[in-house]
Amino acid sequence: MTEFFQTLVSGLSLGSIYALIALGYTMVYGIAKMLNFAHGDIIMVGAYAVITTVMISEAIPGIVAVVISVIVCVVLGVTIEFFAYRPLRKAPSLTVLITAIGVSYLLQNLALLIFGSEQKSFKLDFFDMIKPIYIGKVYINGITFLTLVVTVIIMIALTLFINKTRLGKAMRAVSEDKEAAELMGINVNRTITLTFAIGSALAAVASIFYGGAYTYIRPTTGSMPGIKAFTAAVFGGIGSIPGAMLGGILLGVIEKFAENAISQWSNAIVFVVLVIVLVVKPTGLLGKKINEKV
């Protein structure tokens, strides 16, 4: 039983990371109707931003490095949207997809050029400050605990933002109908920028937890969590915010249990589950199909 809960905790923690990244995919998809395949690489950039900051001076507190990483990712995400995606707003989706893959390679290669191919250790001072806790015999280390708490807070805040605030409602309006939103006086371009900014900030936060859990990063670090989180977003229903949260968490839990059972097959099991869900419910767990009345 202890082992079950131990696996559950590490699954929830991994799933939280996937969920944070999946939110970026799903929000951008919901609003700009595009798959931003460079989103995973934002995580990598966020992680390098952290270790670069800490490398400059040991005296810089970890939390400052986190803030810098968030700023770097937001600026990067918004810049990518402005230069790479905005000119393609009316282009066929395949063109946009190929551009996104191009941006992803560009980021990876830039990182390779600047930081080299060898892995770098990822550590922040506050990881050790939080004491591990025991619930019964279940052990929860500092970074896992932090991941869970911060993710829950972010999810609640994001849900309130989307549902209750004026800007959040504007985002929902844009995701439903850009022209109608424009007619309401909503600046659609600015709303899309905001979405990229939020998604990138969440990716930066995810990079801290991912780096904390795996302790090493390299230029391709963003690929695997990126693909998993994308899977999670599709799993939960792409475009749906609660779907991304649920999909991410379930995916993390399934992956950890699968790893426990037959370790080398865990990724395969994850994707088999995805395929089954999509066959049974093509819109994903919480995805909606809208019936339009004419």
Partner 1 sequence: MRMLAVNNINVYYGKIHAIKDVSFEVKSGEIVALIGANGAGKSTILKTISGLLRSKTGSISFNNELITHTEAHKLIAKGMAHVPEGRRIFLQMTVMENLDMGAYIRKDNYKKDIESVFQRFPRLQERKNQIAGTLSGGEQQMLAMGRALMGKPSLLMLDEPSMGLAPILVDQIFGIIKELHESGTTILLVEQNAEKALAIADRAYVLESGKVAVSGTGKELAASDKIKKAYLGG
- Is 86 or 288 the residue whose CB approaches partner 1 more closely? 288
CB of 191 to partner 1, least distance (A): 10
Shorter beta-carbon distance to partner 1: residue 138 or 188: 188
User: How many CB atoms lie under 10 A from the CB of residue 292?
Assistant: 4
Chain centroid to Cα 106, Å, comes to: 19
Please say which residue, 123 or 169, places its beta carbon nearer to partner 1.
169
Smallest distance from partner 1 to CB 182, Å: 4
Token output for 204:
């930066």
CB of 180 to partner 1, least distance (A): 4
Q: With respect to partner 1, which residue has the nearer C-beta, 178 or 228?
A: 178
Distance (Å, rounded) from C-alpha 169 to C-alpha 72? 27
Residues that bind partner 1 (CB under 8 A): 166, 169-170, 172-173, 176-177, 179-188, 288, 290-294
Residue spans of alpha helices (H) in the chain: 2-32, 39-56, 62-80, 93-115, 126-129, 142-164, 166-176, 178-183, 188-214, 223-236, 241-261, 266-280
Give the shortest CB-202-to-partner 1 separation in angstroms. Answer: 22
Q: Alpha-carbon torsion 189, 201, 282, 98, what sign?
A: positive
